[in-house]
Structure 1
């Protein structure tokens, strides 16, 4: 269930609400107890995150690690 927020609180706390929505939360804005609007994270943000992740994976696949580099990385991780 979406967290309900009165329209006055939504107006006065909009920056905080937007930060929370960006973090994945969703809200229903009410006016005198009556649900008026739902504020939910944008699907465009999810698509952009997917595109960025795919791009990073493609970049990582192009980089090859030599055996000596791999051994150095493994050794440094054990400290």
Structure 2
């Protein structure tokens, strides 16, 4: 695992993120003392777009605007 100073990490963050994405872990130090480890985030399963759309449609069937227009709601929120 490579060690890099905080200032250099700040100036080269984009490059470090590419290296981490490729599988490396990098220790970030401040005045020679390790303070953080830069490593890849765990995989996040997320939701399939089709599933999200289906859930939004289901929500819309059970929730109405009760006669309000979107413009009226925006104006009401500005007060």
TM-score with structure 1 setting the length:
0.54
Q: Helix, strand or coil for the counterpart of 1:24?
A: coil
Between structure 1 and structure 2, the one with the greater Rg is: 2
How many residues matched? Answer: 46
- Structure 1 residue aligned with 2:22: 23
SS of aligned partner of 1:43: coil
Q: More helix by proportion, 1 or 2?
A: 1
> Gaps (5+ residues) in structure 1?
49-79
Give the corresponding residue for 2:9: 10
Name the CA distance, whole Å, in 1 between partners of 2:43 and 2:24: 15
Offset at 1:6? 0.1
What's the TM-score once normalised by structure 2's chain length? 0.54
- Displaced runs of 4 or more, over 3 A: none
Q: How does 1:33-52 map to 2 (within 5 A)?
A: 33-44=32-43
SS in 2 for 1:42: coil
Who is 1:77 aligned against? none
Q: Which residue in the other structure is 1:56 paired with?
A: none
Q: 1:2-55, CA deviations, whole angstroms, 9 ceiling, x for partnerless residues?
A: 21000000000000000000000000000000000001111116x68xxxxxxx
